[in-house]
Structure formats: structure tokens, C-alpha cells
Chains A and B, each alone.
Chain A
Amino acid sequence: MAEVKNKNLWVFVETDEKGEAKSVGLELLTVGRGLADKQGGALVGIVIGSKVDAAVAAAAEYGADEVITVDAPAFAHYSTDAYAKALCTLVDKYGPTTILIGATNNGRDLGPRVSCRLQTGLTADCTALDVDEESGNMAWTRPAFGGNLMATILCPDHRPQMGTVRPGVFKKGERQVGRTCKVTAETVEIAPEEIRTELLEVINEVAGELVDLENAEIIVSGGRGVGGPEGFAPVRALAEALGATVGASRAAVDSGWISHAHQVGQTGKTVGPKLYIACGISGAIQHLAGMSSSKVIVAINKDPDAPIFNVADYGVVGDLHVVLPILTEKIKKAKGLA
């Protein structure tokens, strides 16, 4: 366990290939501001990468009191070994009380490696963060059992207390353009043999397969209730009529009816469109965690007791295979007349 030297809250601001901050780090700085104030410490952005000036500037503009950087070519591409060493070195030196990490694929790779090395607790995929009034510990709230239950977790006797948060769970605040803060540059030496994995090839998704759920204004999603791969036809037809993106629940993805790129929920994408239409989705909280911040939620489900109705603004009890084609026709007609 690392020695605590202050009450500071750290946000790991992950960078992309261009050295820019990924959105989730800025979301965490936004929510971290209030938490750092409650803990009585500073809000510190941690930026590891290569040529990361843009990410450092963004961290300052999203409210960091201080940014600590490790900026060297060895960190240009994410590797578990280099990033874990860098983050642990910084923790040993500065001793923060809390660390937030975005639950991207890399964040979920790095978090447990670091928490284990530091022999401390890590709470994964939190959907709510607070400071426990009695003890002053962070109160990490996350779904469990496929999202059927929420649990609030404390890490009372070990520091730093660590947690990961999915992208999109919290919203970015206003960017305070031109705001600057103290920047401390640290050096962490990495010998080539310390990085034990070798990146051989990067295969980015070809444009046609990219499903941009996170920026979609309208999403029409299908779940187990669509009944099979061909059951997605009415879902796609409605999406097309609305100019919407097609989403899916884990049940539909795990059944192989649609690709993982469409998945909304705890193990998929977190979304917040203006309109979310859930078709044949029962609404395990796991799915709800990924879409409940949508502005308007419409649910269509045969089961009147489906939990999706608990979050729906408009809940239709009925067969999606009957309801969707009628709704699609009416929308097409209305648009044709307009």
C-alpha cells in the first residue's frame, strides 16, 4: 500500500494517438471537482503519453488544479508495463488519496494492474461517486449481478482508493477556454526490455462498420424480444425512418444477432441521446446504466412487468413486431407530408 501524503484526488486523463485527451478523462475531471472539494484536497490531472500538450491544456480547461505529466516516446502507444510503472512511480512520490480512471479498454487494463501493485482496492465501472459523510471515504456505487443490484463500496483502510468509470456516465462541464494551471513534468525511465508486449499491427475499424452510438441523437435498440437476427429488420426500418443509430442489448449481442459494436450498456457503450427507443429489451440495470441518461425513453415490450418500464417516459405494452411497422409507416407518412 502506498503512503498517503495529501488529500488530493487524481484523474488519469487518457490520451489518444494524437496526444489529445479522451473525453472520459474530462468527464471525470468535471465530476472530480466536487469530490476533491469534499475531500479537502486538490484536483490533479495525470497525463501519460507522448507529445501531450493538447491533453494538458484540456485538463486545465476542465478544472484541474494541477497537472502532472510523464511525456516521452516510450508512452506514445499504451502498454500495460510502461503505463503501470509510470502511474505507480507517481503515486509513490506524491501519495494521493483517490484515483479515478476512465473504464476504457486501456483503463480497465491499467487499473487492476496498478491497484494490485499498490495493494489497494479498486471498484470497477462506477455509476455514482460520492464522499461518505461518516468516514470521509469515497463511496463507489456500481451495478452487480448483471446490473440487477447496485452496491456501494468503500475502501476504508487502504490508499489510494481507486475506481474506474465508464465513458459517458458523467457529462463534461463547460470548457473554461484559456484557463491554465500548474504543470509538473516528471520523468519515468523505461528500458525497452521492460515493455514485454510488442505491438505488431493496429487495425482500426473501417468506416462502414463504425457505429457511433455515443454521438447519436436518436437510438433505436433491440433486445432479446426481437427474437432473432431477422427480428432486427423492423428495428432497422424504424431507425432508418428516424435517421437513428441502431443499438442492442447484451442479450441480443450474446445471441449473435447483431455485432458487439451496437451494444449499449455496462459492457457496451454508454449513450445519452435525445430519444432512446428500446424494443424488446427487458431492461436489466446493466443495460439501464448505459442509457438511462437519455432525454426521452420509449420502451416497447410484451411483458408489462419488464424493468425497462421503470425508466421509460412512454411505455408500450405490446408486440414490437406489430407496433414498430405501424409506427414506422406513420413517421414516414408524416415526414413525407412535411
Chain B
Amino acid sequence: MKNILVCIKQVPDTTEIRIDPVKKTLIRDGVPSIVNPFDTYALELAARIKDKEPDTKITLICMGPPQAEAALKECLAVGGDKAYLVSGREFGGSDTLATSYILSCAVQKVRELEGDFDIIFCGKQAIDGDTAQVGPEMAEHLGLPQITYVVEATAEEDRLVVKKETDEGFEMVGVKYPCLITVTKPSFEPRFPTIKAKLAANRAKVNVLGAGDLDIDLSRAGLKGSPTKVKKTFTPEVKTTGVKIHEETDEASAEKLFAELSDNKII
């Protein structure tokens, strides 16, 4: 059996986010919360290991506000056995270094309850921040070897063999347990829950870990524990010189586009 931890994050569905054209601010109302897609791939790799070795245990951990419990329950329905939500006011405003520190303290705690983990799987990055930093930073805090951009994983007796994406193609890499793996989009889709599993997950208990439950130095958490500070946010500039083509029919628009492009020697 393998003892696996999967780290997940609840994120706003960024493909649904729009900018208020007048106020130039993010419109977040009505934007659905989802499990970060890369984390669903991480869970799928863990679930595939469990398919081969059914006595494998998959524990889930998520840092976020109380409503992130919904994300954990979704993951309990597709292979997760136990779920922990790391939540607390003290953790708000954390950058990646502070977040990875808090999560690594939480991992130490969960380890006491669930046993030492052979593999920690994380999504490559979360789609709201897109930093890809929390996984490698957790590995550093925990002193574990890391492999990033993984698309396949085979759990052998005494080592994990993964296929990872590189800039040139792929590599097969082996690593002894325990290790931390970050997962990018594989060639397959994550599984769907059965209705039975969904109902069971809804009834399942999500364990909540607050600051008081962890052996943690709170000066390294939250805004004050974050070396990076956001100075300002803004929406991207608008180009005003562009030619807009909107004729009565699409056919006429196509003709006009061709005329513009050939007249200006662009094609």
C-alpha cells in the first residue's frame, strides 16, 4: 500500500472572470468556485495508483476559507479517503512562501494522524495565481525531493517512476519515497464521481485544522510573513488605433478584411 497526500485549492473559474469596462475592476460576482484543474489531475494520478494497489490511502489537504470544504468533498467523491481543511484568519494574505510554510506545518500535523506519506501530489499551479511555486516551496520546507510538470506516475515497490514534461519533450525520472510531485495536464481526463460516491462524500467529515492545532510560527504566516507585497493592480491598456470591421454580413466583413490586409501589404 501507498500512503498518499494530495494538496488541493479552491479557485474562482478564471475563464468566467471579466473586467468591469467602466470601473476597470474584476467582476467576481457569480463566478463559480471550482477545484483547481491541475489539482484534479494530481488526484487522478493518485487514484490510478490506488486502482492498482487498492489498500492505498489518499488523504486530501486544502488551505482556504470554510467554504473550501466543498472542494474537499468533491475530491472525496473521486478517490479521497480523508480530508483536512487548513483554515484561519491568521493565514489570510499569505504569499507563496507563507502559504507553503503554513501547508508544510499542516502536513507535519496530518502526518501524525495519518502516518508518514510516501508521495505528496500537488497541481503544477493554481489557475488564479499561476505561480507554480507552492509545490516546490513545500518540498523545500519538508526537505523532500521534488519532480515538477509530471503527467504520469507509476508506484514501484521502492521508488516512484514519473514521466515529466520538459521544454524539449519528456523525461522518465525515478525518485525514492518520500517525494513531492507537481502535476500538469496529462493526456487523460480525471474521472467523474459516481452518484453513490457523491452522496457518501457529502456526508463525510472534513477535519478542520486552525492555527491553534499546528506547531507554527505565526510571524511567518499571513501578510506579515510574506516577503512579497502587492504595490498596485491594474487592468491592461487598450489599443485605440485598431481598425474595426463590422459589415452588414460576415461575407462582406471577410471581403473587407482581405482588402485591408492586401492593401497594406500584410499578406
Contact = CB atoms under 8 A, between A and B. Distances in A.
Interface of A: 22, 80-81, 104-106, 108-109, 111-113, 115-117, 119-125, 132, 139, 143-158, 196-205, 242, 251, 253-254, 256, 260, 266-267, 275, 284-286, 288, 296, 298, 300, 304-305, 307, 309-319, 322-324, 326-327, 330-331, 334
Contacts of A111: 133, 136
Contact of B242 (A149, A202, A314): A314
Contact of A314 (B132, B165, B260): B260
A314 to B, nearest CB: 5
B95 interface: yes
Contact of A132 (B231, B241, B253, B267): B231
Contacts of A152: 230-234
A309 B244 contact: yes
B207 interface: no
Interface in B204-250: 226-239, 241-247, 250
A22 to B, nearest CB: 8
B254 A326 contact: yes
Nearest to B257: A316
Nearest to A159: B227
A105 B167 contact: yes
30 contacts: A22-B167, A80-B145, A81-B145, A106-B166, A112-B140, A113-B140, A121-B95, A122-B96, A124-B130, A132-B231, A144-B128, A148-B18, A149-B235, A152-B232, A152-B233, A154-B228, A155-B228, A196-B179, A203-B169, A205-B169, A260-B185, A267-B125, A296-B266, A298-B261, A309-B242, A310-B242, A316-B246, A317-B244, A317-B246, A317-B253
B161 interface: yes
Nearest to A148: B17
Interface residues of B, number: 83
Given A121-B97, A203-B172, A151 B233 contact: yes
Interface in B91-106: 95-97, 100
A115 B138 CA distance: 12
Interface string B18-62: 110100001000000000010000000000000000000000000
B231 A310 contact: no
A275 B264 CA distance: 12
Contacts of A260: 185
B19 A322 contact: no
B234 A199 contact: no
B232 A155 contact: no
Contacts of A199: 171-173
A151 B230 contact: yes
Contacts of B262: 334
B190 to A, nearest CB: 12
Contacts of A115: 97, 133, 137
A20 B163 CA distance: 25
Given A112-B133, A200-B172, A203-B163, 5 more contacts: A150-B234, A154-B231, A158-B227, A324-B254, A330-B254
A202 B171 contact: yes
Contact of B14 (A81, A104, A112, A145): A145
B141 interface: yes
B141 to A, nearest CB: 7
Nearest to A320: B250
B253 A145 contact: no
Contacts of B140: 112-113, 116-117
Contact of A155 (B15, B18, B227, B235): B227
B187 to A, nearest CB: 9
A338 to B, nearest CB: 11
The 7 closest A-B pairs by CB, nearest first: A146-B14, A121-B227, A326-B254, A196-B145, A121-B228, A322-B250, A112-B133
Contacts of B21: 305
B157 interface: no
Contacts of B96: 112, 122
A301 to B, nearest CB: 11
A124 B179 CA distance: 23
B208 to A, nearest CB: 26
A319 B236 CA distance: 26
Contact of B145 (A151, A197, A201, A202): A197
A297 to B, nearest CB: 8
Contacts of A143: 130
A205 B26 contact: no
A251 B127 CA distance: 12
B70 interface: no
A313 B242 contact: yes
Nearest to B241: A313
Contact of B170 (A203, A316, A330): A203
Contacts of A311: 239, 242
Contacts of A319: 250
Nearest to A251: B15
Given A80-B145, A260-B185, A316 B253 contact: yes
Interface stretch (B71-79, B146-154, B192-200): B146-154
Query: Which of B130, B226, B232 has most chain A Cβ within 10 Å?
Result: B130
Given A106-B167, A296-B266, A145 B229 contact: no
B97 to A, nearest CB: 6
Contacts of B226: 121
